[in-house]
């Protein structure tokens, strides 16, 4: 059997059961999401650092304006007075989501990955602003991730599209799902889908750094499916984390899942937002290079490549320009680690070893988050005469998931010994809808 033999049904629409997960900052670009939708699946964009992404994609200057507004506070340890302008945040979100939806082609859908852990100095209001703006801009669905999201649906329950937009929740256990459903039931609004993310996923994971190996995705999926059956809840379950081949995906479909979510193999496509030089680092990665650490200020363990430059940086906090992880009191675990170290080193530059300035290093692609299977990427492509690995197209990877059998991975066609250029792989320009 192939993944192409199955369909994911959400409401009155059917999709190929392949979802490209959200990867920030702007790794899962709108181009990648558009390709997934064009091919009949679902693609994610992410609202991680949406003002910075808007600046990158639309030429706005939200980051510069925020930096100028608070530049007098840069050397100050106290960040309680640093905040996001909600109108600017909403505009940034609308601009980016609108652009993605205008470019959308085909019968698929584009969803937004929305992280609760982006506290942004004002957790409740900034989260509400981000979700509301995405709904205003026409997003097809919103995946609630990086947190339990116990209050998130309530924040937007009065929005005109509350029953129209597809809402999903990312969980790593049946227990976490029960907590979310208990709150959602008060609104008579169950999630439209549930993404069950296992311990092999990339980036932040919902497991302890020292015991994630004790869990496996198939067991968790079975537990979630069993719970839903007992509660007589017919909500599609989507398996995510470590699904490397179409055959892996079929195995989850046979367990009762309705779709799979994948990401790692799409990091090395032309459409991925990673710089090409970083994509080569992903290809070169070995299994021993992949670590789960606790350097993230969010408090969640995070999987990344040991070679990530951000792990060896002497970075001054950039909260005045960024500050996406500041809590309501203007605190962040990296702030404490940095200023405590500054005191110990009498104001001299030093390396912060136990935490990373995630806002800065995710934005400049120096925090190389990845799935556990990143070391297998070299087996999905060709090595070129210059020693580099051939980049892939999103279409190639998507269709390999869709049609492959017996764990076969289709290698790309080599073009004159050189990697295919992006302009050569585009079927047509991204069309912008007009009124």
162 neighbors 156 (Cβ within 8 angstroms): yes
Q: Looking at residues 152-168, what average pLDDT do you find?
A: 98
| Residue 347 banded pLDDT, cuts 50, 70, 90 | confident
pLDDT value at 143 more than 50 = yes
CA distance to 36, 83, 323, 331, per residue, from 122 (Å): 33, 7, 11, 11
> CB-based burial of residue 411 (10 Å sphere; 0-12 exposed, 13-18 middle, 19+ buried)?
middle
Q: Which pLDDT does position 414 carry in this prediction?
A: 74
Q: Which pLDDT does position 416 carry in this prediction?
A: 52
> Domains along the chain?
3-275+381-425 (3.20.20.70)
Q: Looking at residues 2-9, what average pLDDT do you find?
A: 98
Q: Looking at residues 98-127, what average pLDDT do you find?
A: 97
* Enclosing H/E stretch for 247: helix 246-255
| Residue 415 banded pLDDT, cuts 50, 70, 90 | low
pLDDT value at 270 more than 50 = yes
* Strand, coil or helix: 292: strand
Cα 209 to its chain centre, rounded Å, is 19
Q: What is the pLDDT of residues 198-235, one digit of tens each?
A: 999 999 999 999 999 999 999 999 999 999 999 999 99
Q: What is the pLDDT of residues 387-404, one digit of tens each?
A: 999 999 999 999 999 999
Which residue bears the tokens 């496996």?
216
Q: Which pLDDT does position 353 carry in this prediction?
A: 86
Q: What is the pTM assigned to this prediction?
A: 0.93
* Strand, coil or helix: 177: helix
pLDDT value at 424 more than 90 = no
pLDDT value at 427 more than 60 = no
Rounded to whole angstroms, how far apart are CA atoms 51 and 102? 19
pLDDT value at 419 more than 80 = no
Share of the chain above pLDDT 70, in %: 95
Q: What is the pLDDT of residues 189-198, one digit of tens each?
A: 999 999 999 9
């Amino acid at each position: 059997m192939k993944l192409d033999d199955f369909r994911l049904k959400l409401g009155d629409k059917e999709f190929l059961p392949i979802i490209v997960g959200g990867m920030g900052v702007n790794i899962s670009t709108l181009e990648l999401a558009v390709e997934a939708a064009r091919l009949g699946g679902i693609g994610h964009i992410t609202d991680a650092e949406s003002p910075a992404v808007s600046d990158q994609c639309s030429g706005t200057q939200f980051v510069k304006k925020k930096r100028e507004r608070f530049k007098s506070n840069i050397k100050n340890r106290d960040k309680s007075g640093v905040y996001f302008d909600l109108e600017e945040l909403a505009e940034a979100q609308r601009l980016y989501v609108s652009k993605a939806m205008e470019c959308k082609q085909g019968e698929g859908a584009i969803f937004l990955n929305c992280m609760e852990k982006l506290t942004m100095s004002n957790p409740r209001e900034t989260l509400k602003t981000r979700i509301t703006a995405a709904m205003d801009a026409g997003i097809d669905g919103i995946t609630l991730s990086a947190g339990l999201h116990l209050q998130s649906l309530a924040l937007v329950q009065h929005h005109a599209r509350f029953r129209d937009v597809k809402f999903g929740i990312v969980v790593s256990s049946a227990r976490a799902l029960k907590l979310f459903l208990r709150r959602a039931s008060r609104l008579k609004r169950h999630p439209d889908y549930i993404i069950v993310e296992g311990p092999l996923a990339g980036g932040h994971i919902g497991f302890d750094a020292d015991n994630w190996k004790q869990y496996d995705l198939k067991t968790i999926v079975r537990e979630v499916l069993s719970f839903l059956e007992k509660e007589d809840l017919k909500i599609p379950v989507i398996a995510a984390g470590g699904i490397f081949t179409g055959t892996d995906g079929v195995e989850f479909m046979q367990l009762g899942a309705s779709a799979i979510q994948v990401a790692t193999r799409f990091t090395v496509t032309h459409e991925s937002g990673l710089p090409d030089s970083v994509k080569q680092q992903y290809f070169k990665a070995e299994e021993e290079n992949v670590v789960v650490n606790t350097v993230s200020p969010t408090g969640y363990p995070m999987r990344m490549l040991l070679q990530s430059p951000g792990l060896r940086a002497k970075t001054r906090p950039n909260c005045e320009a960024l500050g996406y992880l500041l809590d309501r009191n203007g605190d962040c675990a990296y702030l404490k680690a940095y200023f405590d170290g500054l005191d110990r080193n009498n104001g001299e530059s030093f390396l912060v070893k136990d935490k990373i300035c995630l806002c800065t290093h995710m934005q400049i692609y120096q925090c190389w988050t990845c799935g556990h299977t990143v070391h297998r990427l070299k087996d999905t492509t060709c090595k070129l005469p210059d020693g580099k690995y051939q980049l892939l197209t999103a279409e190639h990877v998507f269709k390999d998931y869709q049609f492959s059998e017996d764990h076969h991975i289709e290698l790309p066609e080599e073009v004159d010994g050189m990697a295919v250029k992006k302009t050569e792989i585009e079927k047509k320009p991204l069309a912008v809808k007009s009124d």
